[in-house]
Amino acid sequence: MTEIPEPPVLAARGGCWFRAGAVRLHLGIEPDFRPARKAHPGLRVTGIDAYAARLKAHGAPVTWDDDLPGHRRFYSEDPVGNRLEFLEPRAPRHEPNDAP
């Protein structure tokens, strides 16, 4: 993602904005911040193994979870301890008797 400028009136409040194509991410600042351990964003990705490898290479934890049917997913944390979920839908499996 590329950092983009905030409107001046909002920039005065702190935080930062990012964009990647049509996706925009706005991050703010809280004075009495506590990391979110349960509440978290879920990021749908393609090529989940590459995301996991890149996060591990930068020292972030990667914890795989198989509890969501039809998806591969793992959890990680941002540098201040917020939980992050990465998930990728599994390709549907076709049984030999399935119609194309």
Alpha-carbon gap, residue 45 to 51, rounded angstroms:
8
What single DSSP character describes residue 90?
P
Say if residue 74 is exposed, middle or buried (CB neighbours under 10 Å; 0-12, 13-18, 19+). Answer: buried
> Does residue 68 sit in the same domain as residue 80?
yes
Range of the domain at 40: 34-92
- Whether 100 maps to a domain, the answer reads no
Contact 70, 28 (CB under 8 A): no
Token readout for 52 is 């996991």
- pLDDT tens, residue order, the chain (100 aa): 899 999 999 888 888 999 999 988 888 888 888 888 788 989 999 999 999 999 999 999 999 999 999 999 999 998 888 899 999 999 877 666 665 5
What single DSSP character describes residue 30?
-
Query: What is the pTM assigned to this prediction?
Result: 0.68
> Does residue 43 sit in the same domain as residue 12?
no
> Does residue 6 sit in the same domain as residue 38?
no
- Whether 99 maps to a domain, the answer reads no
